[in-house]
A and B are shown apart, each in its own frame.
Chain A
Amino acid sequence: MISIRDVHKSYGTVEVLSGCSTEVKKGEVIVVCGPSGSGKSTLIKCVNGLEPIQSGEIVVDGISVAARRTNLPKLRARVGMVFQHFDLFPHLKVIDNLTLAQRKVLGRREEEARARAFSLLDRVGLREHAHKHPGELSGGQQQRVAIARSLALDPICMLFDEPTSALDPEMINEVLDVMVALARDGMTMIVVTHEMGFARRVAHRIVFMDRGKIVEDAPTADFFAAPKTDRARQFLSKILQH
């Protein structure tokens, strides 16, 4: 469903992605991990065209992201994305955060959009907060709203950019629970995260990045049991020490 082929990207003279390639099949959950600055976030921002690429190709559901004729807004509406800092729209109530894009991008009618929004708020356990503003919610609640906001557009796949990194430890699980449920429902997902417990439980494959390169791309069990590269071994030993 998503294919990333030999993608290169640089900011000025600094190359942040050098020749990344991988494939994500329908219903697959991929966890992208690696040290900070390795290009994980940049890579998934390229998938929905938030970051332009200099060479290579990214194809989502048969559509080339970087092609000039591609209608990016239309493509992005089909690719959900959840950010590290939630980025809910602070001036809109929770319910309006969920209906804005449904109405403006998909052209749904108000009642239809609200019905979809409420069913998703039920799913993430926040229906009673529908009429609050994002600033009145905890970080964990905000991130669940952000996930619901993406799902409201009925995306064909979801991108998660360190969705729990900005959360207090006690709120991480409520967000991961929603993501696990989503994965179990068969959603195609690319997740950038350091949550190795989550990776073990739901990821089909682990993509390990270092300095702009994908250095390892392996089934989850293999990756944790026997990482092939020294760099990945080193990373795992540090992150799993405690």
Chain B
Amino acid sequence: MGPLDFHVFLQPVPTGETTYLGWLLQGLRTTVLLSACAWAVALVLGSLLGVFRTVPSRALRAIAGAYVEVFRNVPLLVQLFIWYFVVPEIVPGGERFKQIDPWLQQFLASMFCLGLFTAARVCEQVRAGIESLARGQRNAALALGLTLPQTYRHVLLPMAGRIIVPPLTSETLNVFKNSAVCSTIGLLELTAQGRQLVDYTARAYESFLAVTVLYLLLNAAVLLIMRKVEARTRVPGYLGSGR
């Protein structure tokens, strides 16, 4: 291995419209956009499923339970291939999907794949959060005449949400890290750009060092934001001790 040479990042790419650093930053932008969208999908769907797992209705509990088992127990990479290669072939409207911009096809398949995979994990966190609340909370709310949906909306979810901020932080980090898998279907996110850089410059050490640093910075930023969320939602005098 020769001496490290970071000047390579400032050289223009073969097509000339940007530098190699520009490629990495484009990849970073795609990673952030993809992860943020997937996280939004996961949070909404996962919360809904998490609520389903704790309601009295057996049917809803079974649906959410089956969802978790399927999405948690199939490898993420396999799920991605299914979303990208199989689903457009078998669902109605798949033909039209295959005619849209290839980048958008890759992006949407990646977003749903990551989002639905992570939703199963968020679901389990939400369920654990709700179950960790004192059972009395539900009874107290119902005894005041609140309906079950109102009980979830005003009593159970606000408190469960606060309790699960720390585990959700690690799920957020996972979304950003798992998004690297999407390079396998050709989406030019951060990892894919790193590989492309190696192909063009033969500078493997510099390229992946840069990719590594960018992932670390990204996740440091996520951690910082989640700490803020945690501090902002802290309840005075509440130690989180479930009875």
Contact = CB atoms under 8 A, between A and B. Distances in A.
Interface of A: 45, 48, 50, 73-81, 83, 85, 87-91, 100-101, 104-106, 132-137, 146, 149-150, 153
Closest 6 CB pairs of A and B: A135-B237, A77-B145, A87-B140, A101-B144, A87-B136, A136-B237
B139 A50 contact: yes
The range of chain B's interface size is 20 to 34
A77 B144 contact: yes
25 contacts: A50-B139, A73-B145, A73-B146, A77-B144, A77-B145, A78-B145, A79-B143, A81-B140, A83-B136, A83-B140, A87-B134, A89-B154, A89-B155, A91-B238, A100-B144, A101-B144, A101-B146, A105-B146, A133-B238, A134-B237, A135-B237, A135-B239, A137-B237, A149-B144, A150-B144
Contacts of B12: none
B147 A73 contact: yes
Interface string B134-156: 10110111111111001000110
A181 to B, nearest CB: 22
Contacts of B155: 89
B148 to A, nearest CB: 9
B61 interface: no
A87 to B, nearest CB: 4
Contacts of B243: 85
Contacts of A83: 136, 139-140, 143
Interface of B: 134, 136-137, 139-147, 150, 154-155, 158-159, 162, 235-239, 243
A76 B138 CA distance: 13
Contact of A76 (B145, B154, B235, B239): B145
Nearest to B158: A91
Most chain B C-beta atoms within 10 Å of own C-beta, residue among A87, A146, A150: A87
B145 A50 contact: no
A76 B142 contact: yes
A136 B141 CA distance: 21
Contacts of A76: 142-145
Given A89-B155, A91-B162, A153-B145, A132 B136 contact: no
Contacts of B158: 91
Most chain B C-beta atoms within 10 Å of own C-beta, residue among A48, A76, A88: A76
Contacts of A45: 139
Contacts of A78: 145
B38 to A, nearest CB: 28
